[in-house]
Chains A and B, each alone.
Chain A
Amino acid sequence: MTPAAVQLAASDGRALHPAASTDNPLAIQGMTVSYGEKPAVFSIDATVPPGSMAAIIGPNGAGKSTLLKAVLGVVPALSGTVAVFGAPLARARHRIAYVPQRASVDWDFPTRVIDVVLMGLYRELGLLHLVRRHHREKALACLERVGMADFAGRQIGQLSGGQQQRVFLARALAQNADLYLLDEPFAGVDAATEKAIIDVLKSLKAEKRTVVCVHHDLATVVDYFDHVLLINVRKIAEGPVATTFTAENLQATYGGRLATTHIDQLMLPVA
């Protein structure tokens, strides 16, 4: 644990999660968020191991997106601490890239695809630096990775939903981070986009970066991810997909809303 993290924990009046070492990309402790009287997320502890492809899974209204936003400070948390590579969020922002839900922005906004990707270079550009050729080339290379380079000059409202999602991913790639946090990146996209996105995420994993997705499609969990966090306001289970993504845990997460036969189809074949 870094001295600053120790200090932060001390000022919070309790010890940081033992998992908040500099190795773990993300360690959450006691995260509680409330929009009204009922908590949306209640006292969740979780740790994401380095280099993993992690999924946050749970039914609608389970607080998956809220947890992600609270981790990033986008929504205020009632309580809880977050350590990013052992450091408090404020000192680790440059190591994080974020892909919000596509529906969270107005795609009618007057801007072009390339301008959105350039937003990922904000930390480099700051207030007053001019966008130079090497910035543009970097942005174009990120668009190339998601197969959208031909659309660089388009107004963003002229794209299909899947194309918009890929532009958001390109912006996150431009951030060149160590930890990628994505909110429902596969929601409502076409098959070609889903393939393009998972290929990029797997290449990030191959580069030893860590990926965390809020995910709702149980059928693809085993194929795509190696680590899961099952939540339904509270944490139900966390761990490697092979041992944690079990029928029992899914029943507990979804409260019996899944048929047993359905769950059987999702599991890994028993070795």
Chain B
Amino acid sequence: MGAEFVQLSLTPLAIGILAAVACALPGNFLILRRQALIGDAISHVVLPGIVVAFLITGTISTWPMMLGAAGAAVVAVVLIEAIRRLGRIEPGAAMGVTFTSLFAAGVLLLEQSDTSSVHLDVEHALYGNLESLIWLSADGWGSLLDPQALADLPPELGRMAVVTLLIAVLTAVFWRPLKLSTFDEGFAKTLGIPTGALSLGLVVTAALAAVAAFDAVGSIIVIAMFICPPAAARLMTNRLEVQVAWSIAFAAVSAVLGYVFAGYGPLWFGGNDAVSAAGMIATVSGMILGSACLFAPHRSRVGVPPEPEQT
């Protein structure tokens, strides 16, 4: 665990943890609001957004990509609401229709446009490229104090850190109205809480997490982290405060174990090549959810229909 670790593994690990936590935080509320699929929807529509941004600007520099992705997320949210209201279709179906069609449109656009010169393809969109986010100019733990080496950190790390911090602060500040309106929207309205704005804010925050994480680690992690850590955490406790703490822990553990297994796991089993870290992180989070379903203390309550009336 020396120079090589700092150079090759420290930054991917940190970015993986930050991305996982950024998605898990809003995921807690999305799951309780039965909107878990919206994370899935947003992470898919990011692709057409990025392709369109590339076609317009002709570069894959960060800000046009982020703007394109954010724009697509907003379009998707508006489309989902429109389909739900005008078509009188249940939200899950509206999301399903929206994200599959927009993702498909993104794939077609990608094929039709000349993106061969740049690193923009479907695999990249799905898996990201966590392993490539290395810190070349580091030569040991001492580099953490070396301004010159720090300046050479992958820019994804700084962006992801800012976004994760922002999401954590927003969650803390709006905790009380968010919890109240998630539990009892009607009551929240009578208190004068702007529940519509709050619910839009939650979706926009989720979109922010998805877009930032997509940029660094691809959409597989985003989809998994919106759902798996919060769902597993719900089975650990009956208090939302504790649930959120567990979800952060599960997200971080998924990122670390996933990264380690992806790098070394295949070698342990006699394979030769490392596998995708993003894929492995998502897999580990799924396994944590599976274990929670089997062994967690409060596993009986999620998804159980309400008990018959006791009169």
Contacts and interface: CB of A to CB of B under 8 A. Distances in A.
B118 interface: no
Contacts of A125: 176
Contact of A127 (B32, B173, B183, B184): B173
Given A110-B238, A110-B243, A161-B309, 13 more contacts: A72-B186, A72-B189, A74-B186, A98-B186, A98-B190, A104-B184, A108-B304, A110-B237, A119-B180, A127-B174, A127-B177, A162-B311, A188-B311
B217 to A, nearest CB: 28
B270 interface: no
A93 to B, nearest CB: 5
Contacts of A107: 306
B79 to A, nearest CB: 22
Interface string B225-262: 00000000010011110110000000000000000000
A122 B183 CA distance: 14
A100 B183 CA distance: 12
Interface in A203-239: none
A44 interface: no
B239 A189 contact: no
Contacts of A73: 189-190
A72 B190 contact: yes
Interface of A: 69, 72-74, 90, 93, 96, 98, 100, 104-112, 115-116, 119, 122-123, 125-128, 155, 157, 160-162, 171, 188-190
Contacts of B173: 127-128
A98 B234 contact: no
Interface string B287-311: 0000000000000011010100111
Given A160-B310, A189-B311, A109 B189 contact: no
Interface string B172-199: 0110110110111011011111000000
A107 B192 CA distance: 23
B161 to A, nearest CB: 24
A90 B238 CA distance: 35
Contacts, number: 85
Given A125-B176, A160-B310, A100 B186 contact: yes
Contact of A74 (B183, B189, B309): B189
8 contacts: A110-B237, A111-B183, A111-B238, A122-B176, A122-B177, A125-B176, A127-B174, A190-B310
A104 B189 CA distance: 14
Contacts of A128: 173
Nearest to B28: A110
Contact of A112 (B189, B239, B304): B239
Contact of B191 (A104, A122, A127, A190): A122
B278 to A, nearest CB: 29
Interface centre among B174, B187, B190 (most CB of A within 10 A): B187
Contacts of B174: 127
Nearest to B174: A127
A48 B34 CA distance: 38
Contacts of A115: 239
B311 A74 contact: no
A154 B176 CA distance: 20
